[in-house]
Chains A and B, each alone.
Chain A
Amino acid sequence: MTDALDRPTSILVLGGTSDIALATVRALRSPALHRVVLAARPSAGREEAVASLTADGVAGVTAVDFDAAATESHEGVLAAAFATGDVDVVLVAFGVLGDQQEFEDDPDLAVEAAQVNYVGALSVCLRAARHLTGQGHGSLVVLSSVAGERARRSNFVYGSTKAGLDALASGLADALHGSGAHVLVVRPGFVRTGMTTHLEPAPLSVTAEQVADAVVSGLRRGSTVVYVPAAMRVVMSGLRHLPRAVFRRLPI
């Protein structure tokens, strides 16, 4: 149970090596937090994530195997995490950005990305929702993206996967209303993380820590959607209403 001072006691991260996720766990760190499960594919990065959170004073950090594309294994991963005790926050943070040109050249790659970003996320979100409503409390935090709000020429495959995920998460937020469980959809702009190191930062770019802070305050307020930075909400609302002919020619 997240306590009266908004401090979760347990967190399950799906995509346990994500920079944004790890920053979020750090931001939610408190004496009340005593269990953090990092679900991720086995890797040196995963071991390092466990070690670095532990070194930062987060108690009870463990890793479990999880592949977002292997949907048949998802129920086992979630059930095991919930069987050990209530989970106060489930963070869905895995995702692949990919390369638009490669997706267009090799649609199999695009299918793989969709398999992770959309199908995998659909699978864990629906399952997590069942577990959270079963315990009558808890939050599902879903890393969506502004890229899903209006697909751009330069990354519409990725954008489409996030559009699907965003629609799913928003629908779940309504479905869970009154269940005791709650969904927070996070729509960051450009975040300077491992996912984007190879790219030139876009305007209004933020750090993983800024996303983490927005998640913390969104949870505190019980918000359904947060944009990071907050100004992105206005930008996106403008972009959504641009005529297609103009939008197409924007250098974004």
Chain B
Amino acid sequence: MEDVLPPTLLTGWGRTMPSRAVVVRPGSVDDVVTTVATAGPRGVLARGAGRSYGDAAQNGGGVVLDLAALSDVEVLDDGDVVAGAGAMLSDIVPLLLERGRFLPVTPGTRFITVGGAIAADVHGKNHHVDGSFGAHVRWVDLVTADGDVRRLAADGPPDDVALLAATIGGMGLTGVLVAARFATIPAPTPWVRVQTRRARDLDALMALMVEGDDDHRYSVAWVDGMARGARLGRGVLTRGDHARPDEAPRRGRAAAPLAAGPPRLDVPPVPVSPLNRLTLAAFNEMWFRKAPRSRDGEITGIAPFFYPLDAVGGWNRLYGRRGFLQYQFAVPDAGADVVRVSLERLAGIGAPSFLSVLKRFGPGRPESQLSFPIAGWTLAIDVPVRTPGLAAALDDLDGHVLAAGGRLYLAKDSRAVPATIAAGYPGLPSFRALRADVDPHGVFVSDLSRRLQL
């Protein structure tokens, strides 16, 4: 039975730009087909857990499908997962760890859905080794605009492969994912062996990453976005690999590594954001000092390693009523300087940013026209939208990103202009052509697709 909720105001994780939609909770794939078939002029869009930052999972005036009921998960003998698109990664992780496996790719939060992981073609700390989520998808079931339920296999006929490719990273604009099968990777223990290196400035940090990332499955650097001058770009690089059984702590503590329960701390709604230049500068300073200059062989749990922020429920509310955005771009190696320029520019306007994240990307998936990763660097910076001068600074940075042959991440965007996206994604015309073919009446639309004219 499908459930139609009263019209609801929806926002993304950044809590900016609300729009109202009718949220429908289908109880079955048939319900999804019915909803798609009876779409009104404002169309239909699937929404996962709403962890994208901007307006990607909104469809003002239209219908938004919440697939929470399509959340069955099965781990097959070969380790593959078959899951409903509404299944949360947080529910899949424990099942996998029990079998000595892990997600092939996980973002920095486990509270996202399989549908959201595929539609945004999410990347993790292992992109330089394993690629993005889409690289591990065996097949998906996609409800298309004509009401078909199509199983699109990675090794299927060319038309299916092309539609699957466009759906990976396609931000829900090719149809509604209802189920998927994806490969997993071995994880002999629920523990991670971590190497930590503290770098006093950006050059040192980037040099470390270029040299040693290939020796580790996971690598990410947390950058102090508020340090300026000689300390610009100082950061802490953590790299890791799944720990072997002989490295795992003795029993007793064995429950700790996952801590898959609900967040340990919850942030209440705050009228005035406690995050400002002073508190954040102090936090970044403390966190930098706390990190060891160099440490090897530390054994840590899956949750603190992959999902440090998940321990604080609703931390996005800390940014106050007006919300925040995340600026995330990717540039080829030749454009590495854009990382410096971005940190300088945002430090220059005094943007109070929490820890920023720097990562190296391996090769991208050009066949997935809107998939974000391209080989090189990616930087993600959280900034409250109330920061004076932010619009001009980011517009300016867009220019640098594009000049370097880079692009912005649609799952994080809440302020780019259509031309910036078109210039960053040369595959956009081919994505549009495919969409015109499979969805000639434009049933699948989002606030993001309208705003950016995708």
Residues of chain A touching chain B, judged by Cβ–Cβ distance below 8 Å, are 1-7, 9, 30-32, 34, 85-86, 133-137, 178-180
Assess whether B21 is in contact with A136, with CB atoms less than 8 Å apart. yes
Assess whether B55 is in contact with A1, with CB atoms less than 8 Å apart. yes
Total number of residue pairs linking A and B with CB closer than 8 Å: 76
Q: Which B359-395 residues have a C-beta within 8 angstroms of A?
A: 385, 390-391, 394-395
Residues of chain A contacted by B385 (CB below 8 angstroms)? 4-6
Q: Provided the pairs A3-B17, A135-B60, A137-B60 are in contact, do residues A180 and B9 lie with their beta carbons within 8 angstroms? A: yes
Assess whether A34 is in contact with B417, with CB atoms less than 8 Å apart. yes
Assess whether B20 is in contact with A137, with CB atoms less than 8 Å apart. yes
Residues of chain A contacted by B418 (CB below 8 angstroms)? 34
Assess whether B61 is in contact with A5, with CB atoms less than 8 Å apart. no
Q: Which residue of B lies closest to A5 (CB)?
A: B391
Assess whether B414 is in contact with A4, with CB atoms less than 8 Å apart. yes
Q: B371 to chain A: closest CB distance in Å?
A: 23
Assess whether B451 is in contact with A9, with CB atoms less than 8 Å apart. yes
Q: In this complex, which of A3, A4, A6, A134 has the most chain B Cβ atoms within 10 angstroms of its Cβ?
A: A4
Bound together, the chains give a CA A32 to CA B417 distance in angstroms of 6
Q: Which B2-23 residues have a C-beta within 8 angstroms of A?
A: 7, 9, 14, 16-21
Q: B270 to chain A: closest CB distance in Å?
A: 17
Q: In this complex, which of B61, B62, B390 has the most chain A Cβ atoms within 10 angstroms of its Cβ?
A: B61
Bound together, the chains give a CA A46 to CA B14 distance in angstroms of 40
Q: B248 to chain A: closest CB distance in Å?
A: 43
Q: CB < 8 Å: which of A1, A5, A6, A31 contacts B19?
A: A1
Other A-B pairs beyond A2-B17, A86-B60, A136-B20, 17, CB < 8 Å: A1-B17, A1-B60, A4-B325, A4-B414, A5-B325, A5-B385, A5-B391, A5-B414, A31-B417, A32-B417, A86-B450, A134-B61, A135-B19, A135-B42, A136-B62, A180-B60, A180-B61
Q: B198 to chain A: closest CB distance in Å?
A: 33
Bound together, the chains give a CA A85 to CA B447 distance in angstroms of 11
Q: A172 to chain B: closest CB distance in Å?
A: 16
The dominant DSSP class at the B interface is loop
Bound together, the chains give a CA A133 to CA B20 distance in angstroms of 8
Residues of chain B contacted by A137 (CB below 8 angstroms)? 17-20, 60-61, 447
What are 17 sample pairs from A and B whose C-beta atoms fall under 8 A apart?
Answer: A1-B60, A1-B451, A4-B17, A4-B414, A5-B391, A6-B385, A9-B451, A31-B417, A32-B415, A136-B19, A136-B20, A136-B59, A136-B60, A136-B61, A136-B62, A137-B61, A180-B61
Assess whether B447 is in contact with A1, with CB atoms less than 8 Å apart. yes
Bound together, the chains give a CA A136 to CA B42 distance in angstroms of 10
Assess whether B54 is in contact with A4, with CB atoms less than 8 Å apart. yes
Residues of chain B contacted by A30 (CB below 8 angstroms)? 391
Bound together, the chains give a CA A137 to CA B55 distance in angstroms of 12
Assess whether B450 is in contact with A1, with CB atoms less than 8 Å apart. yes
Q: B233 to chain A: closest CB distance in Å?
A: 25
Q: Does B323 contact A (CB under 8 A)?
A: yes
Assess whether A179 is in contact with B17, with CB atoms less than 8 Å apart. no
Residues of chain A contacted by B390 (CB below 8 angstroms)? 5
Q: Provided the pairs A136-B19, A137-B19 are in contact, do residues A31 and B395 lie with their beta carbons within 8 angstroms? A: yes
Bound together, the chains give a CA A179 to CA B9 distance in angstroms of 8
Bound together, the chains give a CA A40 to CA B17 distance in angstroms of 30
Bound together, the chains give a CA A4 to CA B20 distance in angstroms of 16
Q: Provided the pairs A85-B450, A136-B62, A137-B60 are in contact, do residues A180 and B417 lie with their beta carbons within 8 angstroms? A: no
Assess whether A4 is in contact with B415, with CB atoms less than 8 Å apart. yes
Residues of chain A contacted by B42 (CB below 8 angstroms)? 134-136
Residues of chain B contacted by A34 (CB below 8 angstroms)? 417-418
